[in-house]
A and B are shown apart, each in its own frame.
Chain A
Amino acid sequence: MSKAIDRDPPWIMRTYAGHSTAQASNALFRNNLSRGQTGLSVAFDLPTQTGYDADHPMATGEVGKVGVPIGHLGDMDALFKDIPLEQMNTSMTINATAPWLLSLYVALAQQRNVDPSVLRGTTQNDVIKEFLSRGTYVASPAHSLRLTTDVVNYTVRHIPKWNPVNICSYHLQEAGATPAQELAYALVTAMALLDSVKATGHIDTADFGRVVGRISFFVNAGIRFVEELCKMRAFVALWDRLTLERYGVTEAKYRRFRYGVQVNSLGLTEQQPENNIIRIVMEMLAVTLSKDARARAVQLPAWNEALGLPRPWDQQWSLRTQQILAHETDLLEYGDLFNGSPVVEHKVQELMDTAWSEVQEVLKQGGAVAAVENGYIKHQLVQSNARRLRAIEQGVQTVVGVNRFTGGEASPLVSGDQDAILVVDPAVEEQQKAALSQWRSQRNETEVARCIQQLRDTLDSQENIMPASIEAARAGVTTGEWGQALRQCYGEYRAPTGLAGAPKMTTPNPVAPNTTAPTEALQSLRERMDRLADRLGRRPKILVGKPGLDGHSNGAEQIAIKARDVGFDVVYEGIRVTPTQLARSASDEGVHLVGLSILSGSHPILVPEVLRAMKAHNLAHVPVVVGGIIPTQDADLLRSQGVARVYTPKDFQLNHIMEDLISLLEQDPQVTKE
């Protein structure tokens, strides 16, 4: 038996990791590598992702929460302490500040006498989807695309093994995309990027295949794993066709669809959370079973993500899942299992056709950038997500332990005194701030000022941003200073929220008449709202707010839509709003209720700040409710501070939340006083 020879090599196994400080994350990385992980996937905190230093007011409460804070070259050095860069395959989930984080990585290699041209890894660097889902953008889509293009042009020439862009359909699915939408919007994003690179004229036509060959994708895999498997095969076929027909790439190897994957987090449940590990296994099958459409790198979420931040043990369990599939099972001993299957072929064709017609629709509107700026794609996603949530709420789509088979034994995994999650030490933020001012005090300020000026000049010009950024990294410029240069040159962009009607309205009425009768539950809520409106004298008005840097707006958007559907007047200001700003809006708008959504774990700091600001605006009487990934103990604390209600992923029945909000107002002195 020659077992070893017959097996395909396994994919790169990673864990999306990073929190607290560079030092703590370094320990975590080395630990993960010692357990058999074969690549690194760096999670950065929100200030790093949006170009703020830890001591900037916008960073309050967010430092070290959802990832590691990297403020300068010193932090990058600490993050990779005793990790040989030349041997690593490092994936960085970084977008708006991708040119900067890559510059820090290159500068670190130079400092360690490692030739940057041998570096391997990936910068996510797909800002387009940030406007649709994650929300960590800074500049406008067009300006962002220019920076992405710079990274592509630079790496193709100087770091040839680097994947400069990971076109992400992952986050589109998290935002509600159907498989066909995921395919279509990822492809139009890739087209926008390649068109942009081509337009710079920096790449010879003969070399364009190499550029195409460096574009990789980062996809999602949901629980309907047969369809997901077909989706991956459709991706492979569509990409092959697109790169040949649109970009004339003749070498087959450059047309290969290369992708990494993180399986679905959206479907992970807070109820009976141990079931999630089964879901994760099923979802992994979708991206590994087909040899012809197999992932190059896989990272799996942890079973307890709906509860809070996973602990090292939780992440280890996800790594073991991959290792068992790759090393224990016989999967890697066979060729493609599905070639010739009429069922699979039919499904693949159907997905390709639907996706391709959506691609044409976006192209008709002027491509991905135009369809982001006019709100079209966002609107489509918000609609799809609303349909998905409705299906779960009405039981049309089964979720075990949530809307079916809900009774069960208490899980020993979550029944201790403590929540089964990682809690970031609140002292981290102060430590990071102190370390930052220490760093600033040791720099050559003249050199720093020159580098910052050079960055701004470069941004204003057509020059590639990478060389100036690498020079700035070496001089000790900070992430916040780099972000500030970007903001000064390009301004701060606010993306469409997807809540307004589709902008290209052809009919005069944006509110299409209803075709289906409302359910009984909805009707009764509407009647209660009408009575409330009569008693209040006007329609109950709610402000839906997202304080802080967290850009995951899907939850807030769905609440806003549902609130409208039961009869609220809903003010939604979009993401990244400060507590003071929220209080002022609540006051100017004359709202009866404020709903906050925070998913980054910074609720213990941000919520009290909102409450304080509201008090300062004489709004202490207006009830505040909070939704997000909020551990039980935190929820108790928030309630004791004056929050009227706390909602978590467990509260999937939007009708129930609405009923709760209505009851809250019915009992409110604003109403009962009359």
Chain B
Amino acid sequence: MTAIPTDTTALAVQIQQRDRRAVARAISAMEDKRDTQRTAQLDLLDALTQPPPTQKPATQKLATPDSICIGITGPPGVGKSTWVAAMARHLRRGGRTVGIVAVDPSSPRSGGALLGDRARMDLDPDDDGLFMRSVATGGDLGGIASSVYGMVTVLRAAFDVVIVETTGVGQTEVEVTHLADQTLLIIQPGSGDTLQFIKAGIMEVPDQLIVNKSDMGAVAVQAAQDLRMALHVEQQAGVKEPSSNSSNSSNSSNSSELYVWTTSATHNDGIGPVVDAVLHQVATLPEAMRTAQRRQRQAVAVMNLFKKEWGQRGVRHMGGHSVLMERIHSELQRGTTPWRLLQQLERPDVHR
């Protein structure tokens, strides 16, 4: 049942009209690893990134650029799912439709996975403006499953805001930034995470840093302080520049503290302001910068997906990393969609 119908354009239109079953079906299709499905997958994704041929009804969404993708990452146990649920409720109250992809790790022993986010999120089961899909990392241990890139494109075509919740381990923190307009890193007070993040260089990943479980009191304040310190150090080292658009977004007064928030997802406290700030920052980003950022993300995404499929050997075959990256950039510059580009790069004769 996961096969894509030959008429990908029709399916694309159904998705853009937010037909739940079409969305679910397309997402299943993105997970399909059979070679026979590859062309149809890329065709569908390409169709979804094109404006629909017919007049656009009011309910319809364009995949880009007006839909927003937000990545949520952080170590296991910090309450990411509860945070995502609170965020989704806030967005729904504001009238925005929401699509969620929650990624959980697969067992390396069996290949299977326990996908528990649906139990943790407690979302309104009757809300048609809300869709959630649980996904396993599958073979892509330590990263986001390659199918998630396609799923996000499907969801962006159907919903105003797409949220990707990562497993919070391995490389997912970094990889989610290649998908999302903004990435939120959530940590728990008193967990010693801060130090680990600095060591791992993960501080350069997020756009917003969130200390959750602020109901824990003094430890939460301390954790926020630690983060502000850490961020300050990062900035001095020239790793992360504070963005000028975020000056009105924070509960702090100093530019080195711009990204740090404290929230309590279980008490639904402090989530709204973060979400609103994210939406505001994305919306007020100058068009040129927005396009440049999107293109940069697309280029990296194409590179990631190419590597997941063909590995380092494939990259060498294409002339090495720099040559391939250059080619990707120039193709995107010429207006080739990422999915069409991927299709071109994957033509078997190239690799023979």
Contact = CB atoms under 8 A, between A and B. Distances in A.
B112 A568 contact: yes
A73 to B, nearest CB: 33
Main secondary structure of the interface of B (DSSP, over half): loop
A588 B108 contact: no
A518 B109 CA distance: 9
A4 interface: no
A573 interface: yes
A321 interface: no
B133 A589 contact: yes
B136 A569 contact: yes
A499 interface: yes
Interface stretch (B45-53, B113-121, B175-183, B284-292): B113-121
Interface string B22-38: 00110110011110010
Contact of B28 (A513, A534, A590, A617): A590
A511 B119 contact: no
Contact of B112 (A494, A518, A539, A573): A539
Contact of A578 (B1, B2, B112, B125): B125
B20 A537 contact: no
Interface in B107-159: 107-116, 118-120, 122, 125, 131-134, 136, 138
Contacts of B134: 569, 571, 589
Nearest to A514: B109
A590 B24 contact: yes
Interface size class of B (residues with CB under 8 A): 35 or more
B107 A500 contact: no
Contacts of B107: 511, 564-565
B5 interface: no
Contact of A538 (B33, B132, B266): B33
Name which of A505, A514, A539 has the most chain B CB atoms within 10 A of its CB. A539
Nearest to A140: B266
A538 B139 CA distance: 11
A510 B172 CA distance: 14
Contacts of A565: 107, 109-110, 112
Nearest to B82: A494
Name which of A514, A533, A580, A589 has the most chain B CB atoms within 10 A of its CB. A589
Given A572-B119, A587-B20, A563 B169 contact: no
A76 interface: no
A536 B2 contact: yes
Given A497-B119, A537-B33, A618 B111 contact: no
A670 interface: yes
A572 B115 contact: yes
B213 to A, nearest CB: 10
Contacts of A9: none
Interface string A571-584: 11110001011001
Contact of A505 (B20, B32, B76, B118): B76
A570 B136 CA distance: 9
Given A518-B109, A588-B131, A538 B115 contact: no
Interface in A499-548: 499-505, 508-511, 513-514, 518, 526, 529-530, 533-534, 536-539
Interface residues of A, number: 56
Contact of A621 (B1, B3, B120, B136): B1
Contacts of B25: 590
Interface string A177-219: 0000000000000000000000000000000000000000000
Contacts of A563: 112
Nearest to A557: B114
Contacts of A564: 107, 110, 112-114
A494 B32 contact: no
Given A511-B105, A539-B138, A590-B28, A570 B114 contact: yes
Nearest to A373: B266
A223 B70 CA distance: 53
A511 to B, nearest CB: 5
Interface in B60-111: 75-77, 105-111
B77 to A, nearest CB: 3
Contacts of A621: 1
B114 A499 contact: yes
A494 B119 contact: yes
Contacts of A570: 112-115
B21 interface: yes
B111 A529 contact: yes
Contacts of A530: 111
A13 B37 CA distance: 67
A567 B110 contact: yes
Contacts of A496: 120
Contacts of B169: 508-510
B170 interface: yes
A162 B5 CA distance: 68
Given A510-B169, A573-B118, A538 B31 contact: yes
Name which of A564, A568, A581, A621 has the most chain B CB atoms within 10 A of its CB. A564
A574 B119 contact: yes
Given A537-B34, A581-B125, A590-B27, A571 B2 contact: no
Given A587-B20, A621-B1, A571 B118 contact: yes
Contacts of A590: 2, 24-25, 27-28, 31, 133
B112 A374 contact: no
Nearest to B119: A574
Contacts of B24: 587-590
A203 to B, nearest CB: 26
B1 A670 contact: yes
A578 to B, nearest CB: 7
A511 B120 CA distance: 19
B75 A505 contact: yes
A414 B69 CA distance: 61
B110 A503 contact: no
B161 to A, nearest CB: 17
A511 B114 CA distance: 11
Contact of B31 (A513, A537, A566): A537
Nearest to B147: A538
A563 to B, nearest CB: 7
Nearest to A591: B28
Interface string B1-24: 111000000000000000011001
A503 B111 contact: no
A244 interface: no
A670 B1 CA distance: 6
Contacts of A505: 75-77
A280 interface: no
Contact of A494 (B20, B21, B120, B138): B120
Contacts of A617: 21
A503 B77 contact: yes
Contacts of B119: 494, 497, 499, 572-574
Contacts of A580: 125
A585 interface: yes
Contacts of A500: 76, 114, 116, 120
A618 B2 contact: no
Nearest to B28: A590
A539 B111 contact: yes
B2 A537 contact: yes
A12 interface: no
A504 B106 CA distance: 19
Nearest to A571: B115
B285 to A, nearest CB: 31
Contacts of A566: 110, 112
Interface in A602-654: 617-618, 621
13 contacts: A494-B120, A504-B77, A510-B167, A511-B109, A536-B2, A537-B31, A561-B114, A564-B112, A567-B110, A569-B112, A570-B112, A572-B116, A590-B28
Nearest 7 A/B pairs, CB to CB: A503-B77, A537-B32, A574-B119, A590-B28, A538-B31, A581-B125, A564-B112
Given A511-B108, A513-B108, A565-B112, 15 more contacts: A500-B116, A510-B76, A534-B34, A539-B112, A539-B113, A561-B114, A564-B107, A566-B112, A567-B110, A571-B134, A572-B118, A573-B119, A588-B20, A590-B25, A621-B1
